C-alpha cells in the first residue's frame, strides 16, 4: 500500500458537543500523543487539530487501516473510547482527505461558514507538530498548500465576509431572553479571542458594564484594559457570577468551573431572575444541567449552531464558488504529487538509457574504429541526444497520466522494457 494523506477524527457535523469534549486534546497532551503516534504502526507523520468544533488526526500514512487502528488505540487508552463512539468518527483518505483539509483551512467545514479562526488554528497545530518533530516533507507541503488555498478562497470569494460568529450568535440569544442589553452586566470567564469577540458584540448591543475573570489575574487586567472593562478576581467568583446578567465562558480549563451546585446557589441568590449563561468552551465550562434550573438560560455550542445555520443557508453561492476553487486545487496538487512519485523511476530510466547508449557507442568504436576526434564527438552527441529524447518522452507520459493505476502500469512497463532495477521501481511506488 502506498503512503497517502489520511484524516481521522470527529467534528460538529458528526457529534454533539457532549461527545466532542470527551475527545478534545489539550495542548500539553498533544505533544505526548504526537510522539506516540509516530511510534505507531502505519503512521509516518502526524498533526493533531483540536478545536471547539473538531478533533482530527491528520496523518501521512503508509497503511491507512493500520494508521486508523493506531489512532483508535490511542483514543481507547487515553479517552476510554468505546465501540459505540467510533460511529462519530470519520476516516478520509487520498483526494477526499485533501479536499476535506482544504475545506477546513478555508472555513468551509466550520459551523460558522467562512470563519477565519480555523486557519490560524491549523497553522498553530502544524507549528506544534513541527516543534515535536512529527511532520516532514509530506505534511509540511500539504499544510502549506492548504493555507495557500485558504488565502485564494478568501481573496476570490466573499465566503469570509459574514460578521456572524459564535459570540455574535450568543448576543442574539441573549437579546431573545433579556431584550435590550443596555445597562446589563456581563461577566467574561476567559481572556482569549472568543471572549474578546463576545465583549465587542455585547458592547455594540448596549451592554456597558463588562467584567473579565481569568485564572491569571494579570492577564485579566491586561485584557480588561484592552476592552475598557473591569478585571475581577477569581477569589470572588460566586459574587460576580450572581451579579451578572450574562455570563460568557470560553476558557481552556479541562473540567467544569461552574458546577450544578454553583448554578443552584447563583439562581437562588438572584431569586431566579433571568440570567443567560453562554458556554463557548470545549470541554464545557458549565455543567450542562444548569439550564434545568429556573431562571438560568444556558446555551452551549450546539445551541448556537441553530443561529449560525440560518446565515449559512444564505451564503450557498459563495460556498459553491469556494468549493470549485478547492476542487481545482486538489486536482492540480494531486498531479504535482503524482509527478513527484515517478521521479526515482525517471532517474533510474535515464541512467539505464545512458548505460545502454554507452555500451552501443563502445561497440561501434571496437567494430568500426578507430574514429577521428570529430567523428567520436558526433557519435557521442548523437547517443546522448537519443537518450534525452526517449527519456523526456517517457517522463512526460509518466507525469501526465491522470490516474495512479495508469501511472503504475506504465512504470511497470518501463521496468520490463528497459530492465530498470526492481529496487528503483519499488522506491518509485512509495515516493509521493
pLDDT tens readout for residues 316-364: 778 888 999 999 999 888 777 766 666 677 777 778 888 888 888 888 8
Q: In the listed set 296, 312, 328, which residue is the last one of a domain according to the structure? A: 312
Q: Assess whether 249 and 280 both reside in one domain.
A: yes
Q: What is the pLDDT of residue 432?
A: 38
CA distance 158 to 320: 11
Q: Assess whether 325 and 359 both reside in one domain.
A: no
Per DSSP, the three-state class of 106 is: coil
Q: Assess whether 292 and 382 both reside in one domain.
A: no
Among residues 297, 290, 214, 216, which one has the least CA distance to residue 258?
290
pLDDT band at residue 424 using 50, 70 and 90 as cut-offs: very low
Q: Which three cell numbers stand for residue 215?
A: 485564572
**234 among known catalytic residues:** no
Cβ proximity of 270 and 302 under 8 Å: no
pLDDT at 226 over 60: yes
Q: Assess whether 33 and 87 both reside in one domain.
A: yes
Q: Assess whether 158 and 10 both reside in one domain.
A: yes
Q: What is the pLDDT of residue 430?
A: 40
Q: In the listed set 336, 368, 399, which residue is the last one of a domain according to the structure? A: 336
Q: For 378-423, what is each residue's pLDDT tens digit?
A: 888 888 888 888 877 777 777 666 666 676 777 777 777 777 764 4
Question: For the chain, how many structural domains are there in total?
Answer: 3
Q: Which three cell numbers stand for residue 174?
A: 441573549
Q: Assess whether 200 and 292 both reside in one domain.
A: yes
Cβ proximity of 295 and 267 under 8 Å: yes
Q: Assess whether 139 and 234 both reside in one domain.
A: no
Q: Assess whether 116 and 75 both reside in one domain.
A: yes
What pTM value is reported for the model?
A: 0.74
Q: Is 339 exposed, middle or buried (0-12, 13-18, 19+ CB in 10 A)?
A: middle
Q: Assess whether 30 and 145 both reside in one domain.
A: yes
pLDDT band at residue 161 using 50, 70 and 90 as cut-offs: low
Query: Of 52, 234, 249, 357, which one is the catalytic site residue?
Result: 52
Looking up residue 171, the CATH number of its domain turns out to be 3.40.50.720
Q: Assess whether 400 and 362 both reside in one domain.
A: yes
Q: For 98-155, what is each residue's pLDDT tens digit?
A: 999 999 999 999 888 888 889 999 999 999 999 999 999 889 999 999 999 999 999 9
Q: What is the pLDDT of residue 427?
A: 39
Q: What is the pLDDT of residue 228?
A: 86
Q: For 56-112, what is each residue's pLDDT tens digit?
A: 999 999 899 999 999 999 999 999 998 889 899 999 998 999 999 999 999 999 888
- Give residue 391's domain range: 342-429
Mean pLDDT of the chain: 87
Q: What is the pLDDT of residue 431?
A: 39
Q: What is the pLDDT of residue 28?
A: 86
Q: What is the pLDDT of residue 425?
A: 41
pLDDT at 428 over 60: no
E-assigned strand segments in 88-208: 90-93, 185-189
- Asked if the peptide bond before residue 283 counts as cis, ω within 30 degrees of 0, the response is yes
DSSP for 318-366, written as a single string: HHHHHHHHHHHHHHHHHHHHHHHHTHHHHHHHHHHHHHHHHHHHHHHHH
Q: What is the pLDDT of residue 285?
A: 94
Q: What is the pLDDT of residue 404?
A: 67
For the chain, state the CA radius of gyration. 29
Looking up residue 63, the CATH number of its domain turns out to be 3.30.460.30
Q: Assess whether 112 and 217 both reside in one domain.
A: no
Q: Assess whether 273 and 301 both reside in one domain.
A: yes
Contacts 24+ apart (CB under 8 A), 313-319: 315/113, 315/114, 315/158, 315/159, 315/162, 318/113, 318/114, 318/157, 318/158, 318/159, 318/161, 319/108, 319/113, 319/159
Q: What is the pLDDT of residue 343?
A: 66
Q: In the listed set 336, 370, 404, which residue is the last one of a domain according to the structure? A: 336
CA distance 281 to 129: 23
Mean per-residue pLDDT, 189-214: 90
Q: For 19-46, what is each residue's pLDDT tens digit?
A: 999 999 988 899 999 999 999 999 999 9
Q: Which three cell numbers stand for residue 181?
A: 442589553
Displacement of CA 155 from its chain's centroid (Å): 20
Amino acid at each position: 500500500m502506498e503512503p497517502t494523506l489520511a484524516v481521522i477524527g470527529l467534528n460538529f457535523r458528526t457529534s454533539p458537543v457532549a461527545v466532542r469534549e470527551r475527545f478534545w486534546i489539550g495542548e500539553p497532551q498533544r505533544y505526548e500523543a504526537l510522539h506516540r503516534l509516530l511510534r505507531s504502526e502505519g503512521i509516518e507523520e502526524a498533526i493533531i487539530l483540536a478545536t471547539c468544533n473538531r478533533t482530527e488526526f491528520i496523518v501521512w500514512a503508509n497503511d491507512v487501516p493500520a494508521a486508523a487502528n493506531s489512532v483508535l488505540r490511542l483514543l481507547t487508552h487515553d479517552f476510554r473510547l468505546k465501540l459505540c463512539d467510533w460511529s462519530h468518527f470519520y476516516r478520509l483518505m487520498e483526494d477526499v482527505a485533501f479536499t476535506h483539509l482544504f475545506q477546513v483551512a478555508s472555513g468551509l467545514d466550520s459551523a460558522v461558514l467562512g470563519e477565519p479562526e480555523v486557519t490560524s488554528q491549523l497553522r498553530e497545530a502544524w507549528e506544534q507538530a513541527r516543534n515535536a518533530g512529527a511532520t516532514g516533507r509530506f505534511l509540511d507541503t500539504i499544510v502549506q498548500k492548504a493555507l495557500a488555498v485558504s488565502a485564494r478562497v478568501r481573496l476570490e470569494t466573499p465566503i469570509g465576509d459574514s460578521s456572524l460568529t459564535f459570540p455574535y450568535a450568543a448576543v442574539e440569544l441573549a437579546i431573545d431572553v433579556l431584550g435590550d442589553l443596555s445597562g446589563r452586566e456581563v461577566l467574561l470567564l476567559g481572556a482569549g479571542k472568543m471572549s474578546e469577540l463576545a465583549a465587542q458584540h455585547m458592547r455594540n448591543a448596549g451592554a456597558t458594564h463588562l467584567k473579565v475573570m481569568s485564572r491569571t489575574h494579570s492577564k485579566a487586567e491586561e485584557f480588561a484594559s484592552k476592552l475598557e472593562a473591569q478585571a475581577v478576581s477569581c477569589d470572588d467568583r460566586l459574587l460576580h457570577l450572581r451579579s451578572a446578567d450574562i455570563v460568557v465562558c470560553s476558557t481552556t480549563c479541562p473540567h467544569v468551573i461552574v458546577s450544578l451546585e454553583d448554578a443552584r446557589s447563583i439562581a437562588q441568590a438572584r431569586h431566579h431572575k433571568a440570567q443567560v449563561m453562554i458556554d463557548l468552551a470545549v470541554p464545557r465550562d458549565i455543567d450542562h444541567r444548569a439550564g434545568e434550573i429556573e431562571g438560568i438560560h444556558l446555551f452551549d455550542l450546539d445551541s448556537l449552531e441553530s443561529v449560525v445555520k440560518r446565515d449559512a443557508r444564505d451564503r450557498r453561492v459563495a460556498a459553491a464558488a469556494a468549493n470549485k476553487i478547492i476542487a481545482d486545487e486538489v486536482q492540480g496538487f494531486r498531479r504535482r504529487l503524482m509527478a513527484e512519485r515517478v521521479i526515482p523511476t525517471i532517474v533510474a530510466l535515464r541512467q539505464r538509457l545512458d548505460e545502454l547508449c554507452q555500451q552501443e557507442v563502445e561497440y561501434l568504436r571496437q567494430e568500426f574504429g578507430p574514429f577521428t576526434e570529430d567523428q567520436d564527438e558526433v557519435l557521442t552527441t548523437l547517443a546522448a541526444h537519443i537518450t534525452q529524447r526517449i527519456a523526456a518522452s517517457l517522463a512526460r507520459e509518466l507525469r501526465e497520466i491522470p490516474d495512479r493505476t495508469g501511472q503504475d502500469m506504465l512504470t511497470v512497463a518501463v521496468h520490463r522494457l528497459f530492465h530498470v532495477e526492481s529496487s528503483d521501481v519499488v522506491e518509485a511506488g512509495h515516493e509521493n
